[in-house]
């Protein structure tokens, strides 16, 4: 066995998503072989992120400032709110550069199986934002899963008394998608939602 | 895009083996969501390993002491040397608990394709150990690849003038191995090397 210090690090690393004990061990050995060129900068970077990254109290994004750079940006429309499951999905949308409104992070989606009800999610704060007035559009960018769509229906019901425009991401054939390799559900939905060209 | 501090950490993490940009991003978000319970202990553990783990000057193992706990252990036979490619393989053998001698880490195997010749590996120090006298057995625990076996042949040739016993790991059907699922080469070798029962 290796030294207990290394075993402890391997154990902590292997709890990360996409990591197992074997890949954690490989990563630790890799770092020990590149102490100055990679290990030291990685630790410094971890420390910086740990010290400076905070959760935005408005949208739930993670940034060095609170409110985050998106919420503070005067070029973004605060009356258009895109509802996402988590920060990873928020960043994925930001990488596309297509959206110029603000976000609201739910922190998950409703799931009876995992015991996640409305109280476990940041739903009340979303309703409070709408109740405060000014919001014109809510865009649901939630996963195309049963849980994601259940959450959309639930939220739509909560928001039905407000005069706001509610939309959701379109479903269909992804770019580059070969019909032959597409799952039946997506193909069926893309066919039903066909558009004039 | 996320904050530049996070992007830098993702970039450093994604250079680790078994990590890509996507899994690195997921890992960072996971840690930011578990700042006290996981992020802080992980950073402390990284620091401990960085500060205290050193390479053993005798065998190349990584440990908190030099010589390492294996080389220092009076219960281990210093005249039986197991030659391994790297520390990961050394630890794999140690986990079995089957071996009571010491190790010698080559730091790789000979590979014309990757430009790794004898000078790139810790071969001279192995020959020096043997030349110093006392060594009774050399066990080659190198990968069962063309490169691994080329290395074994090369080292065997270097050691041919010394009166020492030279052995290597046996090849054959792994425990639990279904013959039907085994590659032809292994099955062929296991058949040729069949033993009396």
Q: What is the pLDDT of residues A63-93, one digit of tens each?
A: 999 899 999 999 999 999 999 999 989 998 8
Query: What are the structure tokens assigned to A13, written together?
Result: 């690393």
Name the band, by pLDDT with cuts 50, 70 and 90, for residue B1.
low
Flag whether pLDDT at A60 surpasses 80: yes
The torsion angles phi and psi of B63, rounded to 5 degrees, stand at -155, 175
Chain A contact for B64 (CB, 8 A cutoff):
yes
What is the number of other CB atoms lying within 10 angstroms of the CB of residue A135? 22
**ipTM strictly over 0.85?**
no
**Do the Cβ atoms of B49 and A63 come within 8 Å?**
no
Write the pLDDT tens digit of every residue in A37-55.
Answer: 999 999 999 999 999 999 9
Strand partners, B165: B137
Nearest to A14 by CA among A1, A6, A30, A25: A25
Q: What angle do CA A10, A11, A15 make, to 5 degrees?
A: 110
Contacts of A23 (CB under 8 A, 6+ apart): A14, B17, B18, B19
Q: What does each C-alpha distance from B192 to A57, A193, B147, B153, B172 come to in angstroms?
A: 69, 63, 22, 20, 10
**Do the Cβ atoms of A18 and B23 come within 8 Å?**
yes
Question: What confidence score (pLDDT) does residue A193 get?
Answer: 79
Chain A contact for B75 (CB, 8 A cutoff):
no
Distance CA A87, CA A95 (A): 12
Q: Which CATH class is domain A62-196?
A: alpha beta
Distance CA A190, CA A129 (A): 33
Closest CA in chain B for residue A35: B50
Nearest to A145 by CA among A124, A121, A169, A126: A169
Residues 79-118 of B with CB under 8 A from A: 86-88, 91, 94-95
Closest CA in chain B for residue A65: B3
Best interface-test mutation with A: which of B13, B27, B28, B95 has the largest number of A CBs within 10 A? B28
**Annotated domain spans of chain A:** 4-52, 62-196
Strand partners, A77: A101
Nearest to B28 by CA among A78, A16, A109: A16
Q: What does each C-alpha distance from B75 to A185, B57, B72, B109, B156 come to in angstroms?
A: 64, 19, 9, 29, 27
The CATH label, of 1.10.8, 2.60.40, 3.30.300, 3.10.150, for the domain at B4-52 is 1.10.8
Q: Do the Cβ atoms of B147 and B110 come closer than 8 Å?
A: yes
Flag whether pLDDT at A196 surpasses 80: no
Distance CA B126, CA B107 (A): 12
Q: What is the mean pLDDT of chain B?
A: 91
Q: What does each C-alpha distance from A54 to A132, A161, B37 come to in angstroms?
A: 25, 34, 16
Distance CA B28, CA B7 (A): 10
Question: What confidence score (pLDDT) does residue A1 get?
Answer: 59
């Amino acid at each position: 066995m290796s030294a207990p210090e290394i075993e402890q690090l391997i154990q902590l690393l292997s709890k990360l998503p996409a990591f197992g004990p074997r890949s954690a061990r490989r990563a630790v050995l890799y770092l020990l072989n590149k102490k100055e060129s990679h290990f030291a900068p990685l630790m410094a970077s971890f420390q910086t992120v740990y010290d400076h990254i905070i959760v935005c109290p408005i949208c739930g994004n993670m940034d060095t400032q609170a409110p985050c750079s998106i919420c503070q940006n005067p070029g973004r429309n605060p009356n258009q709110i895109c509802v996402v499951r988590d920060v990873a999905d928020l960043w994925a949308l930001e990488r596309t550069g297509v959206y110029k409104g603000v976000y609201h992070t739910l922190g998950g989606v409703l799931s009876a199986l995992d015991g996640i009800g409305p109280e476990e999610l940041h739903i009340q704060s979303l309703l409070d934002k709408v109740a405060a007035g000014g919001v014109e559009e809510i865009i649901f960018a939630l996963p195309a899963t049963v849980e994601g769509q259940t959450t959309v229906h639930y939220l739509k019901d909560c928001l039905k008394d407000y005069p706001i425009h509610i939309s959701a991401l379109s479903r269909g054939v992804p770019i580059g998608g070969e019909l032959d390799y597409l799952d039946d559900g997506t193909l069926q939905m893309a066919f039903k939602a066909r558009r004039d060209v």
